Structure 1
Amino acid sequence: MAPWTPFPHAGDYRFDAASVKQQWSRLHSGDAEPCPQDAAVLQAWALFHSGEFEQAAAAGLSAGGAGITAANKATAIYANYLEPKEKKRLDLFMQVAERAQAQAEHEPENANAWYWHAYALGRYSQGISVAKALAQGLGGKVRNALEKTMALSPRHADARIALGTFHAEVIDKVGALIGGMTYGAKKEQGLLLFQEALRINPGSAIGMIEYANALVMLEGDTKMQEATQLYEKAAAIEPLDARERLDVEMARLELQED
């Protein structure tokens, strides 16, 4: 298999197990992942936060246990931001979805097993088209897994962002009436989830970006100014690690294109 595309800012973020452990609460304020005790798992996370996503995925799988979550996050973030080939992107998302589902079956109380199953299925759904994914029944699986994540981990900001995105995209594709009746998607609930996520993790660039996108999807041009302000706020963040850098760069690129 061809090597993964490298993180374009290699060397800008250098983490080891000790520095990851020291900054854990800040680095994981979005996903509320518990700090691992296993040195091999911590090393996988150090690779992830440094932007060495392929090595992080391999190290996480090799470590097993809590390392599976590190591998899933590394693979999903790489696929979402850096993989140029659409078929490979979709294949990677399905790998994560299946691996996380097996993890959730083995560890049903593991919030991030449910979260990465939902995230990967959600991104896969966007890749094949939300309408097609809904027809295949993927929407219900995404929603159920995100609600399970939040029940297990009440301060999981990223699950709120993903569920808010679910509400917005369903309504955008099938309308408020069918979206509400068939898929339980509601505009007010979606927007509230973003607001809650940003209260829990106010420095989340991806939270600001997805909230901005949802505002435009759900409210139209009347919210364009507020959406632009959210993008500007995201673009101004000083990233702590490689993943945050990818979010901030995405916001900056969007502002340049506008």
Structure 2
Amino acid sequence: MAHWTPFPHTDRYGWDALRVQQQWSALHLGDAEPLPDDPAALQAWVHFHNGEFEQAAAAGLAAGGAGITVANKATGVYATYLEPREQTRLDLFLQMAERARAQVAANPQYANAWYWNAYALGRYCQGISVAKALAQGLGQQIKESLEKAIELCPQHVEARIALGTFHAEVIDKVGALIGGMTYGAKKEVGLQMFEQALALHPRSAIGMVDYANALVMLEGEERMDEATALYERAAACEPLDAMEELHVEMARAELHEES
């Protein structure tokens, strides 16, 4: 397999194992992942936070156990933001989902196994088209996995963001009536998920960006000013690590498109 496209700014972040441990709560406010006991898994997270996504995935897979989660997160962030080849992106998401389902089978009480399964399937659906994915029955799997992650870990910010996005995208693609009757998608629930996520993590750039996108999908031009304000707040965030930098860059790209 070809090497992954590198994150271009690894020199900006000097995370090491001690600093990651010290700042764990801030770094993982979004995914509520527990600090791993395994030094090998912790080192995989060091690679992740520095933007060394290929090394993070390889180290996580080699560590096994809790390392599978950092491998999945590194794969997901890389495939979403840096992989230029569409088919490779889709293949990476399917690999993530397979690993996450194995984690669910081994430990059904582990929230991030459910979350990364949903994330991988959600990104895969966006790649093949949401409407096509819904026809394949993937929508219900995503919704149920996200709801399970939130049930197991009510403070899981990223699961709330993803569930809000699910409700918005389904309604955007098939309409409120069919979306509600067939897939359980509801505008008010989607917006509530974003509000709860940002209450838990007010400086989440990805939460602001996805909330802005959802406002436009669900309510159109009348919420455009509010959406723009969210993009501006996200673009002004100071990233803690490479993943957050990619989120901030996406917010800036959205603002550039609007201007």
User: Using the alignment, how far apart are the partners of 1:132 and 1:200 within structure 2?
Assistant: 33
Q: What TM-score results when the alignment is normalised by the length of structure 2?
A: 0.99
Deviation at 1:74, TM superposition (A): 0.3
The one-letter code of the counterpart of 2:110 is N
Query: Matches of residues 11-50 of structure 1 in structure 2 within 5 Å?
Result: 11-50=11-50
Q: What TM-score results when the alignment is normalised by the length of structure 1?
A: 0.99
User: Using the alignment, how far apart are the partners of 2:31 and 2:173 within structure 1?
Assistant: 28
Query: Matches of residues 53-92 of structure 1 in structure 2 within 5 Å?
Result: 53-92=53-92
Query: CA offsets, 1:57-116, max 9 Å, x none?
Result: 000001110000000000011000000000000000000011100111011111001000
Equivalent residue, structure 2, for 1:188: 188
Match of 1:237, SS state, is coil
Equivalent residue, structure 2, for 1:199: 199
Query: Are residue 253 (structure 1) and residue 253 (structure 2) matched?
Result: yes
Equivalent residue, structure 1, for 2:100: 100
The one-letter code of the counterpart of 2:190 is G
User: Using the alignment, how far apart are the partners of 2:56 and 2:185 within structure 1?
Assistant: 35
Match of 1:36, SS state, is coil
Query: Matches of residues 109-258 of structure 1 in structure 2 within 5 Å?
Result: 109-258=109-258
User: Using the alignment, how far apart are the partners of 2:106 and 2:180 within structure 1?
Assistant: 33
Query: CA offsets, 1:188-216, max 9 Å, x none?
Result: 00000000000011110000000000000
The one-letter code of the counterpart of 1:104 is V
Question: Alignment length, in residue pairs?
Answer: 258
Runs ≥4 residues deviating over 6 A: none
In structure 2, list runs of 5 or more residues that go unmatched.
none
User: Using the alignment, how far apart are the partners of 2:31 and 2:88 within structure 1?
Assistant: 25
Match of 2:10, SS state, is coil
Deviation at 1:176, TM superposition (A): 0.3
Match of 1:168, SS state, is helix
In structure 1, list runs of 5 or more residues that go unmatched.
none
Identical-pair percentage: 71
Deviation at 1:257, TM superposition (A): 2.1
User: Using the alignment, how far apart are the partners of 1:137 and 1:78 within structure 2?
Assistant: 26
User: Using the alignment, how far apart are the partners of 1:52 and 1:198 within structure 2?
Assistant: 27
